């Protein structure tokens, strides 16, 4: 994909990398929240809100940013690198999860946003839930492409996502959740 060997290497991300980065972060955020005496019910509510926020962000990033159609050749190349390559080679196991060069700056941006909006204590469970949602997204995305989900929920997510790839790329933007596709009328017809 890239002539530059460093860029090429950085564009290939193994699926074990996000859990290695975000698993300890989620644990740390959870421990800090509970040590700050956030009640279990408040923790659950904030973490749940974080997961829900992630699924909404995932939907809109996929729908508006990843499927944006720029007019310039340079813009088309940039957006192909960002997401088009995934549609051209959906079976490429090394380009299914977000590279840390993208996910870590986004995590820092949301950490700052949650600090401003929720304060110094509630930012911890909110970010733990958000990071959990992101990690679930990355792992589910890998699984629906390379696993063979047999249970009904996994099989439905797989059908939903693969319909986006192979039948109608203008529908089915949610990967970890179909909720927002139903809310915004873009559910795949699979």
Residue that wins the pLDDT comparison between 116 and 160: 116
The whole-number average pLDDT for the span 131-148 is: 89
pLDDT at 1 > cutoff 80: no
Contacts of 28 (CB under 8 A, 6+ apart): none
In whole angstroms, give the CA distance from residue 25 to residue 20: 9
Burial of 156 (0-12, 13-18, 19+ CB in 10 A): middle
Domain parsing of the chain, residue ranges: 5-133
Residue 5: per-residue pLDDT = 76
Residue 92: per-residue pLDDT = 75
pLDDT at 87 > cutoff 80: no
Which token pair is 27?
């644990």
In whole angstroms, give the CA distance from residue 27 to residue 36: 14
Span between the terminal Cα atoms of the chain, in Å? 31
């Amino acid at each position: 994909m890239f002539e530059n060997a460093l860029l090429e290497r950085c564009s290939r991300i193994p699926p074990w990398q996000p859990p290695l980065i975000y698993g300890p972060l989620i644990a740390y955020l959870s421990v800090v929240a509970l040590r700050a005496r956030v009640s279990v019910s408040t923790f659950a509510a904030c973490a749940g809100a974080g997961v829900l926020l992630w699924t909404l962000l995932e939907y809109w990033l996929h729908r508006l940013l990843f499927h944006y159609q720029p007019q310039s050749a340079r813009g088309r190349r940039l957006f192909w690198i960002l997401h088009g390559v995934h549609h051209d080679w959906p079976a490429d196991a090394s380009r299914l999860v977000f590279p840390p060069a993208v996910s870590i700056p986004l995590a820092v941006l949301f950490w700052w946003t949650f600090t401003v909006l929720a304060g110094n204590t509630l930012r911890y469970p909110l970010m733990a839930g958000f990071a959990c949602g992101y990690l679930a997204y990355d792992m589910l995305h890998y699984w629906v492409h390379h696993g063979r989900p047999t249970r009904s929920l996994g099989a439905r997510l797989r059908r939903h996502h693969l319909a986006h790839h192979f039948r109608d790329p203008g529908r089915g933007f949610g990967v970890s959740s179909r909720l927002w596709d139903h809310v915004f009328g873009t559910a795949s017809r699979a």
